[in-house]
Amino acid sequence: MQLYRLISGPDDATFCMRITELLNKGWVLHGSPSLTFNGTSTIVAQAVIKQVEGEAFSADIALSAY
Residue 4: per-residue pLDDT: 98
Helix (H) or strand (E) holding 15: helix 13-24
For 19, 34, 54, the CA distances from 6, given in Å and listed in that order, are 10, 10, 23
Residue 8: per-residue pLDDT: 98
What's the CA angle centered on 65, arms 61 and 66, to 5 degrees?
A: 95
- Are the CB atoms for 31 and 49 separated by under 8 Å? no
Residue 60: per-residue pLDDT: 93
User: Distance between the two ends of the chain, CA-based, in angstroms?
Assistant: 12
Residue ranges of the chain with pLDDT lower than 70? none
Residue 3: per-residue pLDDT: 97
Residue 10: per-residue pLDDT: 97
